[in-house]
Amino acid sequence: MNETLYPISVEVNGVLRTAPVPARLTLVDWLREELRLTGTHVGCEHGICGACSIMLDGEPVRSCLMYAVQADGHRVTTVEGLAQPDGSLSVLQDSFCDLHALQCGYCTPGILIAAQGLLDATAHPTDEQIREAIGGNLCRCTGYQQIVDAVKHAAARLAEDPLSPRGRGTG
């Protein structure tokens, strides 16, 4: 199929990526199929489940509801970009492991993005704020309890360590 290709230039996890893409290619398909960043998952492709959440210029968004061409000139962080620069787990990722805030791991990247977005903006979130922040991310395994606990745990750990206020890498 002879589709017109449009050049895009996107900073993905701190690295500038350029590519020609067809207009109808979604951002999540570009990230997963072209860049092989398969940590971002597809759940519903209609913007409800949140499994495809990424950060666009620091804000959590659905990558299934965006076209890759719309990301041109923007900064994208996926779950692969959440770890600390040395590759070790971010405080949030580590807290998820500490409190077993996941089971099958499929929704987890999107939940981490949503929760990181909250922690970036709110130092001491309440349970209600945490539930609201992850309210657009569906999880079938956990009933959300250990996720709420882990985000609260991460916030407390970050508050104790002023040298690493974000406790994570790029984005």
Residues that bind another protein (CB under 8 A): 1, 24-25, 32, 36-46, 48-49, 51, 78-80, 82-83, 89, 93-94, 96-100, 102-109, 112, 127, 130-132, 134-148
Residue 79 Cβ vs another protein, minimum distance, rounded to whole Å: 4
Length of the chain: 171
Q: Which is nearer to another protein, 73 or 107 (CB)?
A: 107
Q: Which is nearer to another protein, 10 or 102 (CB)?
A: 102
Residue 74 Cβ vs another protein, minimum distance, rounded to whole Å: 20
Residue 90 Cβ vs another protein, minimum distance, rounded to whole Å: 9
